[in-house]
C-alpha cells in the first residue's frame, strides 16, 4: 500500500506511550487471531499442534486489525478526557476484535465469569468463538458494549445517530466499512447530521474505514480519488480527517493526532452552541477516513497468493492451518509476531502497564451503560387516555379519525416527558398527513438546516423526526431504543416493507437478548401503520400492500404483537398499552380517515384486554341459541363493512341468527401454546362455535387468518375475505368491492355458507348482486361512492 504522507503530522505520542499503545493493539490482534484459530495452547507455550487448531475455521480477519487499531485510540481519548464513548462496529463480522477488547479491559470476565483473565480463561475465550454452544462469529447481543450486530450491512451510522440523539454527554464512534458504505441506507445515513442538535444531543464520530476490498472485489470508495472522496463528505456536511498508511508507528502518531483534533472539534462545536443556547447554522462535524490495509499485520502471502491488503484476507487467511503443517507453521509465526510473551504474563493475564491503557468502570466502551439501554431506561410518564376518549353512546353514530386521537395521546406523552427528553416520534414526512398533528402543539420537527420565516413546525429542538427515508426512521428509532429510550414510527402501511430486513434484524436481536440476564429489557419498537391499503384509493395499486404483518408473524411469538383497533377508543387503549411494553415489536394498523366509532372507552378497555370478543349489541342471536353464522372482522375498514353487512342481513333476513365478533389483537387467534396472547381452545370455540360458518373480514392477505386459526376446531369453516392484490386509483368503497371485502359480498358469503335460507335468501342474494352492479355503474359515472354507502350508519340502538 502506498504511504500517503500528510502535511504537518505531529508526533503526539511519546515513545513509551506509542510502544504501549502498539502493544495493546497487538494484544487485541493476538486475541482476535486466537479466537479464529485456536482451541488449545492459547499462549503458544507449546509448539502449535494440529489438535490446537479448530477443525472448522469460521471468522473474519480482514477488518479486525483496523477495528482494534481504532479501539485503542478511542480508549486513549476516553481515558484522557473522561469522555463517555460507545463504539458502533459497522463491520460486525469483525466480532473477534470487539470481543478481544472487551476481554482486555476486563468487562468480558465481569459479564461472563467463566472466561477468566488467565490462561484457562483465554483458552475458553478462544474456543467458544464460532464454536457450537459458544458465541457467534459476529458482534452480537452476546458481545458486551454492542448495540449493533452489523451482519446485515447498512445500519451502523443510523444506529449511531439514534444513540446520540438526546444523549448530550455521549460520543458515538461509528466505524463504517467501505463495503457497508456502498449500501443505500448507509449512503443516506450521512445526512443524519442535519438532525443532530449540538446542544441537546451527543456527538457522532464517523470513521470510514477504507481497507479496499469486500469478499472478492475492490470497494467503490477505496477507488475514488481523494478529491472526490473529500468533496463527497464535505458535501454531506462533514470535515474529513485522513489517516492513511500501513506503517504502525506513523499510523499511531497520525491517528492520535487526528483523534485529538476531532475530539477538540466536537467539544468546540458543543461548547459554543451550549454557551449560545442556540444554533445559528448546522455545525460541520468532524469525521475520520482511515485507509489501512485489509488484514493488516496478517500474512502477506499464503501459498504465494497475495493476502494482506487484498480481498483474500477477508475471512480466514490461512485456511488449512489444522491439517497442513506449512500452514500451521505460518499461523504460528503470525501469532508469535505479536509477541504474546510481552503482552500477557505467565498466567495469561494482560500485563499491568497495558491494562492501564484501558478506561475504567462505565467508561470502558464495552461496559458503557448506554450499550445496555435497559439499565438506563425510565418508564414513560403516561397520561390518562380515558380523558382523550371519544364519547360513544350509540355505536356507529360518531365519525372521527382514530389516528387523530392517537395524536392527542402522543401529544400528552410528549408533554409529560419533555423534561426527560426520552420520547421521539419518527416518520417519513407524514406525521401531520397521518393525522398525528396534535403533537405539533407541543413540539416541532427537528431541523438543523436553514429555517425560512414562513416554514411551519420545524425547529432546532423538535422531537418529531421526519425524513423521506423509512430506513433512517427505523434505524434512528432502533438506536434510540437500544440506548434506553422510547418512541413510535408512523408509516404508510405499504412502504413499511422497505424496512422488512431491518425489522428482521431487530426482532432477532430482541429474541436473543431475552435469554440473557445481563441485558436489561428495552422499550418496544412500536409501529403505527396508517394510510393503509384500504385508503390508498388515491395513490393507487403501488401503495396497497398489507403484507408486513405476514412478515412480522414469521418471527418468534415472544417478540411480536399485532393490533387492529376498529376505532379511536380501541386505538387509544392499544396505544397506551404498547408504550408501556418492552422487548417487543408492536404493530398497530389503523386508518386516518374519519370512521364510525363503535365502543365507549370502557368497552374498549374490556375488548382490548382479551384482544377479541363478541359485540353482543350487534348480534341478534337469542340467549341460549346457536348462531347461523359468525361474522368476524379485524381491522377498521373490515369492521365497517362487516357491520354494514350485518345490517343488511338483519334487514333482509331477520330470521338469520348472526353473531358478531371483532378481533383487535390478531395473536389472540393463535393457540395459547403458540403465542402468549393466544386464547384457550374452549374460549375460541365459545366465540367462533365448533361447526358454524364463520365469515371473517380481515384487513390483510386472507391467508394469515387461516394460519393463525389452523389448529382450532372450527378452522375448516372459516371463510376469509381480505386483500387479494386488486386495486387502483378509485373510490374507497370500490377498493373493497374489487377485493370482495365489501358489505354486499360479505352478506352474500354469509347467506351462501349458512345454507342459502330458501327463497328469502335467494331474494336477498339478488338484491346484493343488484347493489354491486349499481355500485359499479355509479362510481364510473359519478366518480364517488353512492349516497347509501357514504351515508350508511349502524341503525340499531344499543342494549
Q: In the window 102-161, what residues touch a copy of itself (CB under 8 A)? A: 127, 130-138, 140, 149, 151-154
Long-range Cβ contacts of 345-348 (<8 Å, 24+ apart) = 347/118, 347/119, 348/42, 348/43, 348/117, 348/118, 348/119, 348/120, 348/121, 348/122
Interacting residue with a copy of itself among 228, 333, 379, 770 (CB under 8 A): 228
For a copy of itself, the closer CB: 464 or 695: 464
For a copy of itself, the closer CB: 152 or 685: 152
Per residue, what are the HEC states of 571-623? HHHHHHHHCCCECCEEEEECCCCEEECCCCHHHHHHHHHHCEEECHHHCCCCC
Does residue 40 belong to the site contacting a copy of itself (CB under 8 A)? no
Does residue 85 belong to the site contacting a copy of itself (CB under 8 A)? no
Burial (CB count <10 Å: 0-12, 13-18, 19+), residue 773: exposed
The label of the residue with cell 483534533 reads 261
Does residue 791 belong to the site contacting a copy of itself (CB under 8 A)? no
Question: What gap in Å lies between CA 36 and CA 127, rounded to an integer?
Answer: 9
For a copy of itself, the closer CB: 311 or 757: 311
Does residue 229 belong to the site contacting a copy of itself (CB under 8 A)? yes
Sign of the CA dihedral with 101 first, then 106, 108, and 111 last: negative
Does residue 500 belong to the site contacting a copy of itself (CB under 8 A)? yes
For a copy of itself, the closer CB: 95 or 340: 95
For a copy of itself, the closer CB: 109 or 784: 784
Query: Can you read off the three cell numbers belonging to residue 389?
Result: 376518549
Does residue 490 belong to the site contacting a copy of itself (CB under 8 A)? no
What are the φ and ψ backbone dihedral angles of 521, each rounded to 5 degrees?
A: -60, 140
Burial (CB count <10 Å: 0-12, 13-18, 19+), residue 100: buried
Please, which residues bridge with residue 487 across strands? 424
Quickly list DSSP for 363-407.
GSTTT-GGGGGGGT--PPP---GGGG----SSTTT-EEEHHHHHH
Does residue 286 belong to the site contacting a copy of itself (CB under 8 A)? no
170-184 burial: b if 16+ Cβ within 10 Å, else e: bbbbbbbbbbbbbbe
Interacting residue with a copy of itself among 497, 520, 753, 793 (CB under 8 A): 497
Does residue 595 belong to the site contacting a copy of itself (CB under 8 A)? no
Question: What gap in Å lies between CA 161 and CA 426, rounded to an integer?
Answer: 13
Stretch that binds a copy of itself, among 289-297, 366-374, 402-410, 428-436 (CB under 8 A): 428-436
Question: What gap in Å lies between CA 161 and CA 692, rounded to an integer?
Answer: 54
* Terminal C-alpha separation, the chain: 83
Q: What's the closest the beta carbon of residue 276 comes to a copy of itself, in angstroms? A: 20
Interacting residue with a copy of itself among 169, 276, 341, 429 (CB under 8 A): 429
For a copy of itself, the closer CB: 385 or 701: 701
Asked whether 92 and 149 are in contact (CB, 8 A), the reply is yes
Does residue 355 belong to the site contacting a copy of itself (CB under 8 A)? no
Q: What's the closest the beta carbon of residue 20 comes to a copy of itself, in angstroms? A: 33
What x-and-dash track marks residues 687-706 binding a copy of itself by CB under 8 A? --------------x-x--x
Q: Which of 540, 547, 537, 588 is nearest to 567 (CA)?
A: 588
For a copy of itself, the closer CB: 237 or 613: 237
Does residue 223 belong to the site contacting a copy of itself (CB under 8 A)? yes
For a copy of itself, the closer CB: 427 or 638: 427
Stretch that binds a copy of itself, among 168-176, 259-267, 501-509, 580-588 (CB under 8 A): 501-509
Of 554-583, binders to a copy of itself (CB under 8 A) are 554-556
Query: Can you read off the three cell numbers belonging to residue 242?
Result: 485522513
Of 165-184, binders to a copy of itself (CB under 8 A) are 179-180, 182-184
For a copy of itself, the closer CB: 280 or 454: 454
Does residue 515 belong to the site contacting a copy of itself (CB under 8 A)? no
* Site size for a copy of itself (CB under 8 A): 118
Does residue 707 belong to the site contacting a copy of itself (CB under 8 A)? yes
Interacting residue with a copy of itself among 337, 433, 514, 600 (CB under 8 A): 433
Residues in the chain: 799
Interacting residue with a copy of itself among 728, 762, 774, 787 (CB under 8 A): 728
Of 367-426, binders to a copy of itself (CB under 8 A) are none
Interacting residue with a copy of itself among 88, 498, 633, 648 (CB under 8 A): 498
Per DSSP, 222 falls in state: G
Asked whether 426 and 389 are in contact (CB, 8 A), the reply is no
Does residue 532 belong to the site contacting a copy of itself (CB under 8 A)? no
Does residue 329 belong to the site contacting a copy of itself (CB under 8 A)? no
Interacting residue with a copy of itself among 230, 319, 514, 610 (CB under 8 A): 230
For a copy of itself, the closer CB: 153 or 661: 153
Of 436-475, binders to a copy of itself (CB under 8 A) are 445, 447, 449-450, 452, 454-455, 457-458, 466-469, 471-472
Quickly list DSSP for 9-41.
----S-HHHHHHHHHHHHHHHHHHHHHHHBSS-
Question: What gap in Å lies between CA 628 and CA 745, rounded to an integer?
Answer: 17
Residue 350 three-state SS:
strand
For a copy of itself, the closer CB: 93 or 740: 93
Of 181-200, binders to a copy of itself (CB under 8 A) are 182-191, 194
Amino acid at each position: 500500500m502506498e504511504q500517503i504522507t500528510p502535511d504537518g503530522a505531529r508526533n503526539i505520542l511519546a515513545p513509551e506511550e506509542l510502544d504501549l499503545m502498539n502493544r495493546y493493539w497487538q494484544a487485541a490482534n493476538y486475541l482476535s487471531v486466537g479466537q479464529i484459530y485456536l482451541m488449545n495452547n492459547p499462549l503458544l507455550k507449546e509448539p502449535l499442534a494440529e489438535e490446537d487448531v479448530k477443525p472448522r475455521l469460521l471468522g473474519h480477519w480482514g477488518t479486525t486489525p483496523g477495528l482494534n487499531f481504532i479501539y485503542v485510540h478511542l480508549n486513549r481519548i476516553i481515558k484522557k478526557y473522561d469522555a463517555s464513548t460507545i463504539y458502533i462496529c459497522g463491520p460486525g463480522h469483525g466480532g473477534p476484535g470487539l470481543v478481544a477488547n472487551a476481554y482486555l479491559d476486563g468487562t468480558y470476565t465481569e459479564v461472563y465469569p467463566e472466561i477468566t483473565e488467565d490462561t484457562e480463561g483465554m483458552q475458553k475465550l478462544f474456543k467458544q468463538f464460532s464454536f457450537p454452544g459458544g458465541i457467534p462469529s459476529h458482534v452480537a447481543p452476546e458481545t458486551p458494549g454492542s448495540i449493533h450486530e452489523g451482519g446485515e450491512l447498512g445500519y451502523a451510522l443510523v444506529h449511531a445517530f439514534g444513540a446520540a440523539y438526546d444523549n448530550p454527554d455521549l460520543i458515538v464512534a461509528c466505524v463504517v466499512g467501505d463495503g457497508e458504505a456502498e449500501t443505500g441506507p448507509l449512503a443516506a445515513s450521512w445526512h443524519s447530521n442535519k438532525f443532530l442538535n449540538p446542544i441537546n444531543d451527543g456527538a457522532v464520530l464517523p470513521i470510514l474505514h477504507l481497507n479496499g476490498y469486500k469478499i472478492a472485489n475492490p470497494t467503490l470508495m477505496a477507488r475514488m480519488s481523494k478529491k472526490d472522496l473529500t468533496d463527497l463528505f464535505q458535501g454531506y456536511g462533514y470535515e474529513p480527517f485522513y489517516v492513511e498508511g500501513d506503517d504502525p508507528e506513523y499510523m499511531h502518531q497520525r491517528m492520535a493526532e487526528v483523534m485529538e483534533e476531532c475530539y477538540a472539534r466536537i467539544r468546540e462545536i458543543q461548547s459554543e452552541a451550549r454557551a449560545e443556547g442556540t444554533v445559528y447554522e448546522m455545525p460541520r462535524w468532524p469525521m475520520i477516513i482511515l485507509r489501512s490495509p485489509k488484514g493488516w499485520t496478517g500474512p502477506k502471502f499464503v501459498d504465494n497468493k497475495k493476502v494482506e491488503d487484498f480481498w483474500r484476507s477477508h475471512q480466514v487467511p490461512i485456511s488449512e492451518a489444522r491439517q497442513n503443517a506449512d500452514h500451521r507453521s505460518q499461523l504460528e509465526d503470525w501469532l508469535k509476531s505479536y509477541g504474546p510473551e510481552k503482552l500477557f504474563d505467565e498466567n495469561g493475564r494482560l500485563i499491568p502497564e497495558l491494562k492501564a491503557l484501558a478506561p475504567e468502570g462505565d467508561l470502558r466502551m464495552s461496559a458503557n451503560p448506554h450499550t445496555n439501554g435497559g439499565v438506563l431506561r425510565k418508564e414513560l410518564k403516561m397520561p390518562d387516555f380515558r380523558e382523550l376518549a371519544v364519547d360513544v353512546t350509540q355505536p356507529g353514530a360518531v365519525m372521527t379519525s382514530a389516528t387523530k386521537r392517537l395524536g392527542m395521546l402522543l401529544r400528552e406523552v410528549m408533554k409529560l416527558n419533555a423534561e426527560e427528553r426520552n420520547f421521539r416520534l419518527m416518520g417519513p414526512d407524514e406525521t401531520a398527513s397521518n393525522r398525528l398533528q396534535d403533537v405539533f402543539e407541543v413540539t416541532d420537527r427537528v431541523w438543523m438546516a436553514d429555517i425560512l420565516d414562513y416554514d411551519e413546525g420545524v425547529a432546532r429542538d423538535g422531537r418529531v423526526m421526519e425524513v423521506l427515508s423509512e430506513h433512517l426512521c427505523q434505524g434512528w428509532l432502533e438506536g434510540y431504543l437500544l440506548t434506553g429510550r422510547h418512541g413510535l414510527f408512523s408509516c404508510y402501511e405499504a412502504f413499511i416493507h422497505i424496512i422488512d430486513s431491518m425489522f428482521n434484524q431487530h426482532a432477532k436481536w430482541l429474541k436473543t437478548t431475552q435469554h440473557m440476564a445481563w441485558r436489561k429489557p428495552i422499550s418496544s419498537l412500536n409501529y403505527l401503520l396508517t394510510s393503509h391499503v384500504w385508503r390508498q384509493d388515491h395513490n393507487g395499486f403501488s401503495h396497497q400492500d398489507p403484507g408486513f404483518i405476514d412478515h412480522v408473524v414469521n418471527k418468534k411469538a415472544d417478540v411480536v404483537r399485532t393490533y387492529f383497533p376498529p376505532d379511536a377508543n380501541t386505538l387509544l387503549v392499544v396505544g397506551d398499552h404498547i408504550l408501556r411494553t418492552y422487548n417487543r415489536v408492536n404493530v398497530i394498523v389503523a386508518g386516518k380517515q374519519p370512521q364510525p366509532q363503535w365502543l365507549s372507552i370502557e368497552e374498549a378497555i374490556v375488548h382490548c384486554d382479551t384482544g377479541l370478543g363478541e359485540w353482543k349489541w350487534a348480534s341478534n342471536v337469542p340467549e341460549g341459541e346457536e348462531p347461523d353464522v359468525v361474522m368476524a372482522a379485524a381491522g377498521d375498514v373490515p369492521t365497517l363493512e362487516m357491520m354494514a353487512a350485518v345490517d343488511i342481513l338483519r334487514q333482509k333476513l331477520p330470521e338469520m341468527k348472526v353473531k358478531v365478533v371483532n378481533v383487535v389483537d390478531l395473536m389472540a387467534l393463535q393457540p395459547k401454546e403458540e403465542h402468549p396472547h393466544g386464547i384457550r381452545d374452549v374460549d375460541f370455540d365459545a366465540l367462533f362455535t365448533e361447526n358454524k360458518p364463520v365469515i371473517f373480514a380481515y384487513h390483510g392477505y386472507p391467508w394469515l387468518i387461516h394460519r393463525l386459526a389452523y389448529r382450532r376446531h372450527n378452522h375448516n369453516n372459516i371463510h376469509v375475505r381480505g386483500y387479494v392484490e386488486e386495486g387502483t386509483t378509485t373510490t374507497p368503497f370500490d377498493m373493497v368491492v374489487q377485493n370482495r371485502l365489501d358489505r354486499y359480498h360479505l352478506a352474500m358469503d354469509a347467506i351462501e355458507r349458512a345454507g342459502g335460507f330458501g327463497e328469502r335468501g335467494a331474494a336477498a342474494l339478488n338484491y346484493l348482486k343488484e347493489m354491486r352492479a349499481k355500485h359499479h355503474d355509479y362510481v364510473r359515472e359519478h366518480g364517488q361512492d353512492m349516497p347509501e354507502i357514504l351515508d350508511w350508519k349502524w341503525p340499531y340502538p344499543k342494549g
